[in-house]
Chain A
């Protein structure tokens, strides 16, 4: 029998029992859609968490910490393959005040190697990286937090709206740095002037206020020396250094992380956290798919029932077909095609419905949650409640169509076993 004729045959039978087939397809659709939507929640939450993590940190970034009372061996670290840049930023245990005209700010001074910063692809919102010792780069919020004493006093007393700070371009401006120990009321008399040549890019998070100052690391010894000269004693742990390693590409993060761990350092990288999250969500998604598959199995009872009814109803027809020369294999194939057809149509509808539900959920749920929590800002956050990747569609389709065919298998086998003589004796 030609394939087209087989399809025609199946179509004719389905047409004869439209309502019953429709209800069976509906059950298959609901089962499969439930599976996809349920699993999509797992994919959605995983996606949201991945995005959250990746927003915090560059994906090629690996943080390295020495063990207690030890120091990093930079030469050893540099020998690790695929390392693009090693950025060490050092902060000091002292108040660092920067002044511009009548405005000032207590910024977070970070001493670093500008060449390494360049290699790590430090992004600037404007300007450029320093080319000499007297040039600095400031954080994105540095200028807007440059307040006058009057403005600062007003904020403290009246809790008024925050001042707008220095509104002109900060690029090319000269700022003055002074140091003041935390336990002292006066700043040291020495002051240093620096030219602002660049502003760091806006932080990934809305709530991060970046008022840091990146300065060439050559200044560390000078500033430390000044502190030692003026203060009675230098605090323990006066400086604190963080080390970040940037790999040359994403695929090498894992190997670099492993090499550094093998050297005995404490290492943290996004890829490691992502890996842990992926493992957790893999288990979570398997659980959701398992629950969803139960729904598909329940819907398969409908398919089994429909196909059993179809075989019972068509016993005489099957008998005639066999009598005039239809092979048992053909009979079986025709019934399997019918159950597969129910599965395929049910799955296609389920995929369409699932995408619609997923889209609506991602559109409406943030609004609902935002309104109920009374936080307007929540709507702006990119929370993915439901995500349907193509892999999920393939998996759910395979499960749904497979289960449909399995549930049609037994009725189809029953059809092949129909006794021609008994079937022909059936009343019309």
Chain B
């Protein structure tokens, strides 16, 4: 499903003209299979977020190739990448990244709007999804009227509404208390099992990593543990 081959990336840090090259990804190669939950763990600055951003197409790697569902993402232009993300990826962020001016229902509906789905079909799909993530009662609430767990559920519902084959989660429980964290992890497992969604998670929480089928550990831009290709 996702093939990462010899990916290298360097950041330039410092004042203009006096930049310093800092390698963040060093020859990474691995594969994620369909229906897997993969956790990428590592300390801050280990390069795990950069890796996720690279796979998700938010940035292009300097070297190497990333193939998702047979499509080399580095070859796509910005508009093509946006469309590719819309059709193939869902995103769950640590701080939920919900639109504050939209209700929970409207937040979940947003990707369907971007896809140009008719209002009638959208309503049906969103209602089903809200039911699935247990948010039926709070559809007309704004994000600031929801608890952290509810906001993350909205975020998950938004990520899943377009039925993407791959879901990226960046510290999905980082802003939640331990009880809510358990709920969200159960939800992720449930969705993985029932819908067959592939999850790629970034976390430094051992408990979150424990639900993964495989775990890649990163240190200083390298995979130090995991099933490399």
A423 closest partner in B (C-beta): B97
Asked if B83 is at the interface (CB within 8 A of a chain A CB), the reply is yes
A12 closest partner in B (C-beta): B101
- Establish whether residues B113 and A316, one from each chain, have CB atoms under 8 Å apart when the complex forms: no
Asked if A150 is at the interface (CB within 8 A of a chain B CB), the reply is no
- Establish whether residues A421 and B59, one from each chain, have CB atoms under 8 Å apart when the complex forms: yes
Nearest CB in chain B: distance from A378 CB, A: 58
Partner of A327, one of B58, B79, B87, B162: B79
- Establish whether residues B113 and A2, one from each chain, have CB atoms under 8 Å apart when the complex forms: yes
Within 1-39 of B, Cβ neighbours of A (below 8 Å) are at none
Partner of A320, one of B83, B90, B97, B116: B97
Asked if A262 is at the interface (CB within 8 A of a chain B CB), the reply is no
**A420–B59 Cα gap in the complex (Å)?**
9
**Chain A residues within 8 Å of B99, by CB:** 317, 320
Partner of B58, one of A321, A421, A428: A421
**Chain B residues within 8 Å of A327, by CB:** 78-79, 82-83
**Given A2-B116, A421-B53 in contact, is the A325-B101 Cβ separation under 8 Å?**
no
**A1–B93 Cα gap in the complex (Å)?**
23
Asked if A58 is at the interface (CB within 8 A of a chain B CB), the reply is no
**A27–B94 Cα gap in the complex (Å)?**
42
Asked if A328 is at the interface (CB within 8 A of a chain B CB), the reply is yes
**Chain A residues within 8 Å of B116, by CB:** 1-2
Asked if A168 is at the interface (CB within 8 A of a chain B CB), the reply is no
Within 92-119 of B, Cβ neighbours of A (below 8 Å) are at 93, 95, 97, 99-102, 110-111, 113-116, 118
Partner of B113, one of A1, A16, A319, A424: A1
**Chain A residues within 8 Å of B86, by CB:** 324-326
A5 closest partner in B (C-beta): B113
Asked if B91 is at the interface (CB within 8 A of a chain A CB), the reply is yes
Asked if A323 is at the interface (CB within 8 A of a chain B CB), the reply is yes
Within 51-90 of B, Cβ neighbours of A (below 8 Å) are at 53, 56, 58-59, 78-79, 82-83, 85-87, 89-90
A9 closest partner in B (C-beta): B113
Chain A facing B: main interface SS = helix
B77 closest partner in A (C-beta): A328
**Chain A residues within 8 Å of B102, by CB:** 12
Asked if B158 is at the interface (CB within 8 A of a chain A CB), the reply is yes
- Establish whether residues B82 and A1, one from each chain, have CB atoms under 8 Å apart when the complex forms: no
Asked if A122 is at the interface (CB within 8 A of a chain B CB), the reply is no
Within 404-428 of A, Cβ neighbours of B (below 8 Å) are at 420-421, 424, 428
**A320–B97 Cα gap in the complex (Å)?**
7
**A319–B93 Cα gap in the complex (Å)?**
12
Partner of A325, one of B97, B100, B111: B111
B102 closest partner in A (C-beta): A12
B106 closest partner in A (C-beta): A12
Nearest CB in chain B: distance from A46 CB, A: 50
B78 closest partner in A (C-beta): A328
Nearest CB in chain B: distance from A170 CB, A: 81
Asked if A329 is at the interface (CB within 8 A of a chain B CB), the reply is yes
**Given A316-B97, A317-B99, A421-B53 in contact, is the A325-B113 Cβ separation under 8 Å?**
no
**A323–B89 Cα gap in the complex (Å)?**
9
**A322–B87 Cα gap in the complex (Å)?**
13
Partner of B85, one of A5, A325, A428: A325
A13 closest partner in B (C-beta): B101
**Chain B residues within 8 Å of A428, by CB:** 95, 100
**Chain A residues within 8 Å of B158, by CB:** 324
Within 8-23 of A, Cβ neighbours of B (below 8 Å) are at 9, 12-13, 16
> What is the 8 Å Cβ interface bit string for chain B, positions 144-166, against chain A (1 contact, 0 not)?
00000000000000110010000
Asked if A330 is at the interface (CB within 8 A of a chain B CB), the reply is yes
**Chain B residues within 8 Å of A16, by CB:** 101
B84 closest partner in A (C-beta): A325
**A209–B77 Cα gap in the complex (Å)?**
83
**Chain A residues within 8 Å of B113, by CB:** 1-2, 5, 9
- Establish whether residues A424 and B83, one from each chain, have CB atoms under 8 Å apart when the complex forms: no
Partner of A324, one of B95, B101, B111, B118: B111
Nearest CB in chain A: distance from B95 CB, A: 6
Nearest CB in chain B: distance from A377 CB, A: 63
Partner of B97, one of A2, A329, A424: A424
**Chain B residues within 8 Å of A324, by CB:** 85-86, 90-91, 110-111, 114, 158-159
**A326–B111 Cα gap in the complex (Å)?**
8
B107 closest partner in A (C-beta): A320
B97 closest partner in A (C-beta): A320
Partner of A323, one of B78, B83, B91, B118: B91
A316 closest partner in B (C-beta): B97
**A122–B212 Cα gap in the complex (Å)?**
104
**Chain B residues within 8 Å of A329, by CB:** 79
Within 114-148 of B, Cβ neighbours of A (below 8 Å) are at 114-116, 118
**A23–B111 Cα gap in the complex (Å)?**
33
B110 closest partner in A (C-beta): A324
**A325–B115 Cα gap in the complex (Å)?**
9
Nearest CB in chain A: distance from B171 CB, A: 12
Tell me the A residues contacting B by CB distance below 8 Å.
Answer: 1-2, 5, 9, 12-13, 16, 316-317, 319-330, 420-421, 424, 428
Could you write out 24 A-B pairs with CB less than 8 Å apart?
A: A1-B114, A1-B116, A2-B113, A2-B118, A9-B113, A12-B102, A316-B97, A320-B97, A321-B114, A323-B85, A324-B90, A324-B114, A324-B158, A324-B159, A325-B83, A325-B87, A326-B86, A327-B83, A330-B114, A420-B53, A420-B58, A424-B93, A424-B97, A428-B95
Shortest 3 CB-CB contacts between residues of A and residues of B: A325-B86, A327-B82, A327-B79
